Structure 1
Amino acid sequence: MTNKVNITTDGGADVARVSNALSLTIKSWRKSKKLSLDELSRRAGISKGMLVEVEKGTANPSIAILCKLAAALGLSVAELVNVTRAPAAFLIDSDDMPVLWRGEQGGSAQLLAGTRGPDMIELWRWTMFPGEIFTSAGHPEGTAELLHVEQGELTLKVADTELCVVQGASAVARTDAAHQYANDGNHMLIFTMCVAERHG
């Protein structure tokens, strides 16, 4: 099993595209808010060295780090990786949906769409092969996730609660606590997830 959470997509071009989007967006928003590297790293709870690498476009940050940076800047993860636009309605091409996690067996977490701002909603599609696991320390207070299993069986742990979400079933979870998703079964797991996060 793996708890690897770095962005490790198959194609180098895909990684470079996400890294470049992060670099430009974070640097631009940090300067617009008149935040030093030290101050943003303090607010986000990440090292200054990691922030410097992200702004240079050479880092491979985890989903957890992206969430911390987004919260510190008052943005959504979708805005950080440019999966959101200003119009009232818009399309997102499949090529513009970044994979932000890869499991050791080839599983993935793809950000399909997301709204703007700190009070955000995101739509994800996860695939996990048997034995793969994703662990998170928790999101900002009040964050909720809606999960629906399309195929396989999801083992969902949130704080001291463990649920087995079978094919066709759904779950609701407060994920401001430590949580994890795992495929403890023998078949591929596919689930969709909606994340709602409110600030202030």
Structure 2
Amino acid sequence: MSDLEELTQALARNLKRWRTERGFTLEGLAARSGVSRGMIIQIEQARTNPSVGTTVKLADALGVSITTLLDHDHTPQVRVVLPGQGVRMWSSRAGSDASMLLGDDRRGPVEMWTYRLEPGDGTASDPHPAGTFEMLHVTEGELTLEVDGERYAVPAGGAVSFEANLPHAYRNEGPGPMEMTMAVSIPPVRSSGA
């Protein structure tokens, strides 16, 4: 089985498990996430490989990390992620990419990512649920962070944190690559019986 097939199967299994565990009907999860009922059915039946945006919407609606939805192993107490073993979640033609390194749902979802943005490249994110918090540490180059239309320059060695319930974007406006590590804390979801 290829890595993509393994991820598709894991997503199908985990989405259904978490939807059931949270007490959400297909319609309830569709309304909560903004993902159509038909798409959720296709994902749960492993008939499609959804976009990162769709996966993020479902994870946010369920109150779990993307890592939890894509986890094909049950996470042990200690998990070591070796270089190159993160799950690539986004890439651009320019060579930029983002990989999910770790995630944990024990005290509310927490995720750790690495980003590499080539000069002139960037990516935007829709607002996350209220209470979502991001922390970024720039290890190379300079990050231009936009949060709700405001721009912030973060140089190599610098860090920034912000409430991520507003539109935000990461850009590299410098002459060389920009690399950063990002931690995302998502508030736990309580079932509303939907």
Same fold per superposition (TM over 0.5): yes
Going from structure 1 to structure 2, the CA distance change for 1:24 and 1:93 (only over 3 Å counts) comes to: farther
Report the 3-state secondary structure (helix = DSSP H, G, I; strand = E; otherwise coil) of the residue aligned with 2:151: strand
> Does 2:155 align with 1:166?
yes
| Cα distance between partner residues in 2 of 1:19 and 1:86 | 18
> Does 2:58 align with 1:69?
yes
> Does 2:180 align with 1:191?
yes
1:77-156 to structure 2, matched below 5 A, reads 77-82=66-71, 85-94=74-83, 96-117=85-106, 119-156=108-145
The runs of 5 or more residues in structure 2 that have no matched partner are 190-194
C-alpha contact (below 8 Å) 2:60/2:128 kept by paired residues = no
C-alpha contact (below 8 Å) 1:44/1:71 kept by paired residues = yes
The runs of 5 or more residues in structure 1 that have no matched partner are 1-11
> Does 2:28 align with 1:39?
yes
Runs of 4+ in 1 over 6 A off after TM superposition: none
| Cα distance between partner residues in 2 of 1:123 and 1:33 | 24
C-alpha contact (below 8 Å) 1:84/1:115 kept by paired residues = no
CA offset at residue 152 of structure 1?
Answer: 1.3
Q: How many residues in Structure 1 have an aligned counterpart in Structure 2?
A: 189
Going from structure 1 to structure 2, the CA distance change for 1:34 and 1:199 (only over 3 Å counts) comes to: closer
Going from structure 1 to structure 2, the CA distance change for 1:121 and 1:28 (only over 3 Å counts) comes to: closer
C-alpha contact (below 8 Å) 1:156/1:164 kept by paired residues = yes
C-alpha contact (below 8 Å) 1:156/1:182 kept by paired residues = yes
CA offset at residue 187 of structure 1?
Answer: 1.1
Query: TM-score when scaled to structure 1?
Result: 0.82
Going from structure 1 to structure 2, the CA distance change for 1:153 and 1:121 (only over 3 Å counts) comes to: same
C-alpha contact (below 8 Å) 1:22/1:57 kept by paired residues = yes
| Cα distance between partner residues in 2 of 1:106 and 1:159 | 26
